[in-house]
Amino acid sequence: MRRYFSRKLLIYILTFFLAVTIDWLIPRFMPGDPVQNMLSRAMLRADAAEVMYGYYTKAFGLDVPIGQQYLNFWNALFHGDLGTSVYMFPTPVTKVLLRAVPYDIFLLIPSILLSWYAGNKFGAYAARSKWLDNTVSPLGYVLTATPYMWLGILLAWFFGIVLGKFPIAGAYSFNLVPHLSWMFIWDVLKHWFLPFASLFLVGFGGQAIGMRNMIIYELEADYSHYLEALGAPRSLVRKYAFRNAVLPQITGLALSLGVIVAGALVTEVVFSYPGIGYLLLAAIQNQDYFLIQGCFLFIIIGVLFANFVIDIVYLLIDPRTRTGMMGETA
């Protein structure tokens, strides 16, 4: 058990280390000079600009050799310091990100969990009814094949513009100041609904299809046939098939997490929803390298963490991984 965990943990740490290193490389190898870029917007006189350039290069820590920069980066990282945003100067990147992250959580967790739950329920249901299978399965294929952006735009157009039922930009109305009231909560939920729905629908389709196929596969597995040969009622055969079909669905969720997060980024852009995705777009448009770097870092941490959680859940519920593990240490 411990050996399994330490090995898993090591893999996660290595992945994290590598991903962060790549993340650190990106702004340094991207065309353009962030400081120059910021200064050019200030429209300073040439000599003043030169002084300021020197000052900012120092402030951003870009005046030391590249190896030193790398070490400083890790050091700062462990102190929770991701540098200063150029675009929202002088707010620290960490602070900018922490303002955005709650929106991502608010959007992602419900859509992932609900689409997983509902998709699996529906898929299992479809697997046993011909009629449902013929309607839900094609729909599921269409949904899961729809790019997030399209679905987002379609929903925004239909519910926001044609029906005018839902707002299509922001996390709450611009004329409201965040405060605790039913009116405000209602407003927040209305803004949340469409981006949530587009993430939910794509996820739902994928999960439903996956579950349907897995159940059908499990019902054709040897152990199902054996139960049938011994006269076990359908309910028992189904129960086992469902349980065993859910397991790969959990791994599937871990694998698709990256896609879901990417989908959330795009969806936030479509709905101007102020999470990391929206921030990332702004950061790119403004060539705010530190902010870009910070956004990616948060995404990396988020995806790795979620994967780790799913790994543990899987470990707890699938005896095959558990016993496989014991065999390893033996």
- C-alpha 194/C-alpha 192 separation (Å) is 6
Polymer length in residues for the chain: 330
| Chosen residue from 33, 81, 133, 228 binding another protein by CB under 8 A | 228
Could you say which residues in the range 99-118 bind another protein, by CB under 8 A? none
As given in the structure block, the two tokens for residue 226 are 């054996």
Judged by CB under 8 A, the number of residues near another protein is 23
State the SS3 of 185-227.
Answer: HHHHHHHHHHHHHHHHHHHHHHHHHHHHHHHHHHHCCHHHHHH
- C-alpha 191/C-alpha 188 separation (Å) is 5
- C-alpha 263/C-alpha 269 separation (Å) is 10
| Chosen residue from 225, 305, 309, 316 binding another protein by CB under 8 A | 225
| Chosen residue from 98, 236, 301, 316 binding another protein by CB under 8 A | 236
Tell me if 328 contacts another protein by CB under 8 A: no
Tell me if 133 contacts another protein by CB under 8 A: no
Tell me if 232 contacts another protein by CB under 8 A: yes
Q: Select from 6-14, 140-148, 236-244, 285-293 the region that touches another protein (CB under 8 A).
A: 236-244
- Shortest Å distance, C-beta 325 to another protein: 11
Q: Report residue 179: phi and psi, to 5°.
A: -160, 170
Q: Are the CB atoms for 132 and 126 separated by under 8 Å?
A: yes
- Shortest Å distance, C-beta 229 to another protein: 4
| Chosen residue from 85, 198, 244, 307 binding another protein by CB under 8 A | 244
Tell me if 240 contacts another protein by CB under 8 A: yes
| Chosen residue from 58, 95, 165, 243 binding another protein by CB under 8 A | 243
Tell me if 47 contacts another protein by CB under 8 A: no
> Which residues lie closer than 8 Å to 20 by C-beta, 6 or more apart?
74, 77, 297, 300
Q: Select from 8-16, 44-52, 73-81, 230-238 the region that touches another protein (CB under 8 A).
A: 230-238
Q: Are the CB atoms for 107 and 199 separated by under 8 Å?
A: yes
Q: Are the CB atoms for 272 and 169 separated by under 8 Å?
A: yes
Contact positions toward another protein, by CB under 8 A? 221-223, 225-233, 235-236, 240, 243-244, 247, 318-320, 323-324
